[in-house]
Structure 1
Amino acid sequence: MDHSAHQAAHQDHVGHGRHHMGPVTWGAAAKATLHCLTGCAIGEILGMAIGTALMWGNAATMVLAIALAFVFGYSLTLFAIRKAGLDFKTAIKVALAADTVSIIVMELVDNGIIALVPGAMDAHLDETLFWTSLLGGFVIAFLLTTPVNKWMIGRGKGHAVVHAYH
């Protein structure tokens, strides 16, 4: 099968997203979640650092951090699948399909943790509370997002669409 026919077959699979993958290991789910967490962490830390350095309020800083988490989360996937030879338009569709739910769950959990930890929203970059609440939120988000990714991959969704191209 030539490359374009291979891509078309995979695009058809991505478009329907109904293919059942069968049993998925916890290791595969954890790897997908770690990939997502890496992008989210880069974006969140950068956003919090920028917002704090510019002395923005909590809401503006959190919005920037969340936006950058999505940008970096999608970008890591986008770069990997572009490297596999997909055209840009298809790569964007795959990245959105692969990461959206995972990033949403991760962002809700880790930002919820930060919002719930007393004083964390007002902590500065040089304070232990800032880093412990942020990193603790990432750990809890990882633990809660991994089962979501396992369930999605088992149904041919989420990071399963990325693996169709590797």
Structure 2
Amino acid sequence: MQHDHGQSLNRVAFSATVHCLTGCAIGEILGMIIGNALDLSTGATVVLSIALAFLFGYAFTSLPLLRSGMALSAVVPLALASDTISITIMEIVDNTIMVAIPGAMDAGLDELKFYAFLALALLIAGTAAYPVNRWLIARGKGHAVVHAHH
């Protein structure tokens, strides 16, 4: 029985991490592309990417709940509770990697290395968030809070 529960928990945690990473990645990639296209400083690009990652991450959680008929006043605390820790971990890891890799932030939009470094950073960020998401879900927190309302 414990083995089945563990597999189910792993699946839910993986699904929650991928869901969160999807919204986070869309915002992160948009921020990096916009910052690069506008020739913003590294700091401004990182701030923009983080802001958009949180915006899209919360939106990916909130929109289905709003469509199901939940009130915005009920959805906002759920989105904040379920996604904040996961997005924060992903953003710290992702942006640290992008800034730490020489040339990653300076690569042009027409260079494959820009996208390769960004994809690598996001993959590592999702991997870093998974155990925390699993731990939270096992305790009825994080994405478990949202799943209770689906």
State the TM-score, normalizing by the size of structure 2: 0.92
Which is higher, the Rg of structure 1 or of structure 2?
1
Contact 1:110 1:138 in 2 (8 A): yes
Distance 2:133 2:59 in 1: 18
2:35: which partner in 1?
Answer: 51
1:36: which partner in 2?
Answer: 20
Distance 1:118 1:129 in 2: 11
1:97 to 77, 81, 105: 81
Q: How many residues align?
A: 145
State the TM-score, normalizing by the size of structure 1: 0.84
Distance 2:114 2:62 in 1: 30
Which residue identity does 1:148 align to in structure 2? V
Q: How does 1:63-82 map to 2 (within 5 A)?
A: 63-82=47-66
Return the offset for 1:137. Answer: 0.6
Which residue identity does 1:86 align to in structure 2? M
Greater relative CO, 1 or 2 (CA 8 Å, sep 6+) = 1
Which residue identity does 1:73 align to in structure 2? G
Unaligned 5+ segments in structure 2 are none
Query: Secondary structure of 1:67's match?
Result: helix
- Asked if 1:141 corresponds to 2:125, the answer is yes
Which residue identity does 1:159 align to in structure 2? H
- Asked if 1:159 corresponds to 2:143, the answer is yes
Contact 1:84 1:165 in 2 (8 A): no
Query: Secondary structure of 1:123's match?
Result: coil
Greater mean alpha carbon deviation, residues 86-95 or residues 76-85? 76-85
Identity %: 53
Which residue identity does 1:88 align to in structure 2? L
Which residue identity does 2:126 align to in structure 1? F
Return the offset for 1:129. Answer: 1.7
Return the offset for 1:115. Answer: 1.4
Contact 2:16 2:143 in 1 (8 A): yes
Return the offset for 1:85. Answer: 1.9
Distance 1:150 1:54 in 2: 38
Distance 2:20 2:39 in 1: 28
Which residue identity does 2:131 align to in structure 1? P
Q: Following TM superposition, where does structure 1 have runs of at least 4 consecutive aligned residues deviating by more than 6 angstroms?
A: none
